[in-house]
Structure 1
Amino acid sequence: MRHAAAFAAVICILSSAAFAQSVGEKTGVNSALRIAPTTEDFVKQAAIGDMTEIAAAKIALEKGNAEEKKFAEQMVTDHTKTSEELKALVASGDVKAELPASLDSSAQKKIEKLNDTKPEDFAAQYDPMQVSDHKNDVSLFERYATGGDNPKLKEWAGKTLLRLQHHLEMAQTLNNNRK
């Protein structure tokens, strides 16, 4: 009987797609269940991801070691490009979503923590953060590329995913070299 009630609860949550996706994206439930985010959630999270990566990279350019600075330069270049591409999709009207004007509180806290980190402790904060953030980005983009509801945004997510997977590999190497 317990299993039936639990199963019914999961079905209820999954069948309410808009609710599950909006709440789920904020809580990580969608990622765990491999559910594609809504277009609005995807655009918001992708834009915040770009802004976070650029802000973190700018700090790394000041406080990081040579390897982190090289990685950071690549992050600024690539995430500026993806940010511009996403803005163009929204501006064209092909994607109906609003771009956030600033970081959300979670991303802002990460950036503040990096800002407050001493240069000698920077790698211990920045390197694992990059692995974690890029794992989240890869999951977000994979889920939208396979299950998103906007064809042009789905195509862009699929193309961008390759770049993000490469970033994840680079971040993992950076983090492993620190140990």
Structure 2
Amino acid sequence: MKRLTVVATCLLFATPVLAQSLGEKTGVNSTLGIAPTTQDFVTQVAISDLFEINSNKLGAEKGNAAEKSFATQMVTDHTKTSTELKTLVTGGKVKAELPTALDSAHQSKLDKLKGLSGADFSSSFDSYQVDAHKDAVNLFERYAKSGENADLKDWAGKTLPALQHHLELAQKLDDARSGATVGKK
């Protein structure tokens, strides 16, 4: 009976941790506005930065003039945030593991971009940039508001305005390509 009580207690305490990680992977946390765990945040930011750097290197090579300009800024800015995140983790202020490769979803998008050119490239590239920056803004807003690591929470809050600006730029890029005029001044 004691063992059953110990196992039940362990499961009770482990469930919120497991649920939060699962919730982050499924998008439930985002929908509910729940902050990710520190590990989930670090993982997602690192993968996002890797994707931004790699996809924008392609944008600088294959994109139109506006995409090339955007891509150059994104490579610079996301290399900076990636370095800052690594410094927080390797400096011991944040206890988390940094991924060294893209997850399968981001790798699939990158592989698709590599095989595209012209208007097909622009359509996918622009759309991916809008989606990636919407996700990043949401992720950083949630962690900056309710994250569990004070140093990382502070960094998320300081980084958020740049990501919001990136989202605006990506949306303008996508609107210009698609010829959208709704909401333009």
- Whole-Å separation in 2 of the counterparts to 1:152 and 1:32: 25
**Equivalent residue, structure 2, for 1:88:** 87
Which residue number corresponds to residue 149 of structure 2? Answer: 150
Task: After TM superposition, give the deviation of residue 78 of structure 1 in Å.
Answer: 0.2
**Match for 1:154: what amino acid?**
K
- Report the counterpart of residue 177 of structure 1 in structure 2: 176
Task: List aligned pairs for 1:159-178, cutoff 5 A.
Answer: 159-178=158-177
In the TM superposition, residue 28 of structure 1 has moved relative to its aligned partner by: 0.8
Maintained 8 Å contact 1:128/1:175: yes
* Amino acid corresponding to residue 26 of structure 1 in structure 2: K
Match of 2:129 in 1: 130
Q: Give the secondary structure class of the aligned counterpart of 1:89.
A: helix
TM-score normalised to structure 1 length:
0.90
Q: Distance in 1 between matches of 2:136 and 2:143?
A: 11
Structure 1 residue ranges, 4+ long, deviating more than 2 angstroms after superposition: none
Take 2:136 and 2:19, find their aligned partners in 1: how far apart are those partners?
A: 19
Cα distance in 1 between the residues matched to 2:21 and 2:90: 23
Q: TM-score scaled by structure 2?
A: 0.87
For 1:74, the equivalent position in structure 2 comes to: 73
Aligned to 1:27: 26
Corresponding position of 2:116:
117
Provide the rounded CA distance (Å) in 2 between the counterparts of 1:135 and 1:18.
25
Aligned to 2:38: 39
**Residue equivalent to 2:64:** 65
Residue correspondences, number:
165
Separation (CA, whole Å) in 1 of partners of 2:168 and 2:119: 24
- For residue 16 of structure 1, report the CA deviation from its aligned partner: 4.2
Report the CA distance between 1:178 and its aligned residue.
0.5
Q: Which moved more, 1:28-37 or 1:119-128?
A: 119-128
The code of the aligned residue for 1:102 comes to: A
Contact residue 53 and residue 76 of structure 1 kept, 8 A: yes
- Cα separation, 1, equivalents of 2:83 and 2:61: 24
Q: Which amino acid aligns with 2:115?
A: D
RMSD: 1.1
Amino acid at match of 2:140: F
Residue 41 of structure 2 aligns with an amino acid whose one-letter code is F
Structure 2 unaligned regions, length at least 5: 1-13, 179-185
Post-superposition offset of 1:118: 2.0
The superposition leaves residues 58-93 of structure 1 with CA deviations (integer Å, 9 ceiling, x where unpaired) of 111111000000000000000000000000000110
Alpha-carbon distance in structure 1 between the residues aligned to 2:134 and 2:112: 20
The answer to whether the 8 A contact 1:20-1:30 is kept is no
Distance 2:177 2:20 in 1: 36
User: Counterpart in 1 of 2:10?
Assistant: none
- Per the TM alignment, residue 114 of structure 1 is displaced from its structure 2 partner at its CA by 0.5
